[in-house]
Amino acid sequence: MAVNLTDVSPSQAGDFRAFPAGGVAPLATALSWSAGQTRANNAILPVTTDGSSALTVHLDMAAGTVQLVVDVFGYFQ
């Protein structure tokens, strides 16, 4: 999938890692930020091979809150 990931109002520094549902979280982050910093990043993300297009997003943040906006604007067959 072609996506745009945006973090909104993070209270602490952290990152998101995105990967196919049921898969293993990658070492590379899809989006990283500092406290109070709204950031966005485009990404091409793999999805499940069963056609469900399920995606897992892993949050790596010690404490606090953050909102994630995922805009899907395309896909490849």
Taking only the tens place, the pLDDT of each residue in 6-46 is 999 999 999 999 988 888 889 999 999 999 999 999 998 88
Q: Is 7 exposed, middle or buried (0-12, 13-18, 19+ CB in 10 A)?
A: buried
Q: Is 14 exposed, middle or buried (0-12, 13-18, 19+ CB in 10 A)?
A: buried
If one counts the domains in the chain, the total is 1
pLDDT band at 77 (very low <50, low <70, confident <90, very high): confident
> What letter would DSSP give residue 49?
T
Q: pLDDT (tens digit, 9 = 90+) per residue, 29-38?
A: 999 999 999 9
Q: pLDDT (tens digit, 9 = 90+) per residue, 46-55?
A: 878 777 778 8
Domain that holds residue 11: 2-74
